Every structure is written in C-alpha cells, then in structure tokens.
Amino acid sequence: MSEEVNEETQEAQEAQATPATQETKAEREAAADAALDPNAFVSGLMHELSRVVVGQKYMIERLLIGMLTNGHVLLEGVPGLAKTLTVKSLASCIDLDFARIQFTPDLLPADLIGTMIFNQATRDFEPRMGPVLTNILLADEINRAPAKVQSALLESMQERQVTIGDTTYPLPRPFLVLATQNPIEQEGTYPLPEAQVDRFMLMIRVGYPTRAEERLIMDLVTDADPVTLRPVTTPEQILAAQRAVRKVHLADELKDYIVDIICATRDPREFGLPQLERFIEFGASPRATIFLNMASRAHAFIRGRDSVYPEDIKAIAYDVLRHRVALTYEAEAEEQTSESVIETILETIEVP
C-alpha cells in the first residue's frame, strides 16, 4: 500500500547514497528520536491549536493521527465548522508548507499537479509546479471537481510523487492530503468513487460545537484581537514522531483482533453476525487492516503510551471503516448506517 511504496522508494534512494551520507542521515535520525518527548510534542501542538480552534478536539486528534501515520484524511461536515481553519492552523504550528486549492467543476488536473510551459528565452519547455508540491495540501470541497481532477490526486496520495511531462518529482516529506466535502449539498457535486475514497486513511465526521463552545467562539472572533500562531515543532520532529509511532507495541492478540474486525465486515455470518449479511454490500479492503493497525498505534502514542490497548482500536475503528463498509439498499431502507454496523461488530467480536 502507500506506506509500503513509500518505504521502497526511500530505500532505493538511500541505496544510491554514499556510506558517509547514510551514516550522517542515521545519526541525525537517532539524535532526533532521542530528543523527542512524546508528551511535550502532543501537548505543545494541542495547546497552540486551542488558541485559535475552540473545541473540535476529536477532529484535531484525528488530524494528528493522520499526520503521525503519513495517512490522508477526509473531513465531512457542513460549512462553518472550522475545518479549513484547523488544517491551516495545524500547518502553522508545525512550520510546514501549506497549500489550499478550492475544487470547482472547471478545475483541470494541471491546476493541481502543474504542467509544462514554453520558455521563450530558452526556447524550451519547463515544468511549472502545481500546489500539490507542498507538505500539507487542503483539497477544499473535493467532491466539487470532476473525476479527472480527483484522479490527479491518486498518484500523489499513493506514490508520494507527481509526473509532469516525462519527469517524476518526489513530494516533500511529510506529505499529507486533507480533503473536505459537504454532505448536504448534492447538486453540482461528483461523489468520490470507492477506489479513491479507500485511499483516505480516515474519514472524519465533523459535528457542531456545544453551546458553551459556540459562545466562546463568538467572543474569540468578535471581541479579541486576531491570534498569530507560532511554530511549536519542526518537520524533523514530525518525522521522528512518525518513527516513534511505528515502534509502539501492538500485541499479537490485538493484531488478530484487528483482522477479525475487518473480516467480520466481509463475512459477518462466520463471526456470529448473520443479521448483518443483508445490510453489507461489500466489506473493508486489506488496506483497512493496515490503517487500523497504524492508527491504533498513533492513538496510543497521543495518549502517552508505548503499547496499544483494545480501547485504542475501538476508538479509531469508526474513522477507518465508515467509508469502507458499503451498505445495501435494504440497509438504507431500514435506516441502518455504517456506524451502526461497525458498532454491532465491535460489540460482538470478543476482545482478547
């Protein structure tokens, strides 16, 4: 999957480097890993973001999980819930390059990845890079653009590279696509096909703030001076945190538990859930198994633990699976949702 391709590309690049360069890179990574304090790393980001974003702790944590696992995130919610603000603020707190592109029906793939332009001075074609060459890309209202533009994101999301003309360009590290879509407006939209939705590690449903939070938002925006966020971490620390997440311990019993959850979405009868057979059209792909493994490690890391608990898996399972479990017409007729199906599976599968 995307993580495996990433590692293969990185290993090929490192194989071409000189031994001295490899040793220096290993030393730098070891020093960054030793200097990383997980608790300070997470609390620093959360505190700085709270100066601008009120509430939405759930969304912020899931964005951090996506960043720590190198996974892309799809945000779904009505306008005005601080989705764009949160993404932009996160980039400001990490001192990363940030680009935002508004997806519209007239957008072209070249507007996203770039194209070749003719330079009259040199009498030659030169690449003009698009906004995808960044660390954090906000694809605002991704379902407003046609399929050609949506598919232009596939190579960058999967391979972490873009091809312009005959040349392939690697994307900066870290690279994260955060896309938003509006669930209530269907006119003039192009729903993402299943193959592209599956590229997103997490799908987050963003809800309304509480009454107290909304009062605080009103005061913050109308009465206080604008807040300027400062970087509290570096890209090197992000990469060190990503390596630390991969080292979080996940017991074999919990790995089997993850596989059972995913397999139950495909063959519910085998796991004692025959009532779900008529509700599930098709279950989650193997990519869901990989992502649930990675996301549960990051969920434990954010809470300052070096091992995964079953609660971590249950907490993140909804975000990993809700866009991967396709329901039948019968399920919609009986007002069943992907969340209710996932909840039934988690309640039935025995926790080790």
pLDDT per position as a tens digit, 245-276: 999 999 999 999 999 999 999 988 888 888 88
Are 195 and 269 part of one and the same domain?
A: no
- DSSP letters, 258-321, are HHHHHHHHH-GGGGT-GGGTTTEEE---HHHHHHHHHHHHHHHHHTT-SB--HHHHHHHHHHHH
Provide CB contacts within 8 A for 46, sequence distance 6+. 57, 60
Are 101 and 184 part of one and the same domain?
A: yes
Count the neighbouring beta carbons within 10 Å of the beta carbon of residue 29.
Answer: 14
Are 185 and 56 part of one and the same domain?
A: yes
Q: Which helix (H) or strand (E) holds 238?
A: helix 235-246
Are 38 and 160 part of one and the same domain?
A: yes
Total domain count, the chain: 2
From 60-64, 183-187, 195-199, the region with the lowest mean pLDDT: 183-187
Decide if 233 is inside a domain: no
31 confidence band (pLDDT: 50, 70, 90): low
Are 136 and 275 part of one and the same domain?
A: no
From 9-23, 112-126, 222-236, 328-342, the region with the lowest mean pLDDT: 9-23
Top pLDDT among 295 and 181 is at 295
Chain-centre distance for alpha carbon 301: 16
Residue 15 pLDDT: 52
- Of 168, 192, 224, the position where a domain reaches its end is 224
Are 45 and 142 part of one and the same domain?
A: yes
Are 67 and 141 part of one and the same domain?
A: yes
Q: Under a CB-based contact definition with an 8 Å cutoff, are residues 25 and 14 in contact? A: yes
Q: Under a CB-based contact definition with an 8 Å cutoff, are residues 99 and 136 in contact? A: yes
The CATH number that applies at residue 324 is: 1.10.8.80
Residue 187 pLDDT: 58
What are residue 264's DSSP bridge partners? Answer: none
From 61-70, 95-104, 152-161, 341-350, the region with the lowest mean pLDDT: 152-161
- Of 192, 224, 256, the position where a domain reaches its end is 224
The CATH number that applies at residue 66 is: 3.40.50.300
Q: Which among 236, 82, 258, 103 is positioned nearest to 177, based on CA atoms? A: 103
Structural domain boundaries enclosing 302? 248-348
Residue 111 pLDDT: 85
Q: How far apart are CA 226 and CA 223, in angstroms?
A: 9
- Of 224, 240, 269, the position where a domain reaches its end is 224
Are 177 and 59 part of one and the same domain?
A: yes
2 confidence band (pLDDT: 50, 70, 90): very low
Residue 105 pLDDT: 85
Q: Is the pTM of this model over 0.85?
A: no
4 confidence band (pLDDT: 50, 70, 90): very low
Decide if 307 is inside a domain: yes
Mean of the per-residue pLDDT values of the chain: 82
Are 207 and 263 part of one and the same domain?
A: no
Q: Would you say residue 36 has pLDDT above 70?
A: no
Are 265 and 304 part of one and the same domain?
A: yes
pLDDT per position as a tens digit, 280-321: 888 888 999 999 999 999 999 999 898 999 999 999 999 999
Total length of the chain: 352
Q: Would you say residue 97 has pLDDT above 80?
A: yes
Decide if 14 is inside a domain: no
Are 263 and 133 part of one and the same domain?
A: no
Are 203 and 340 part of one and the same domain?
A: no
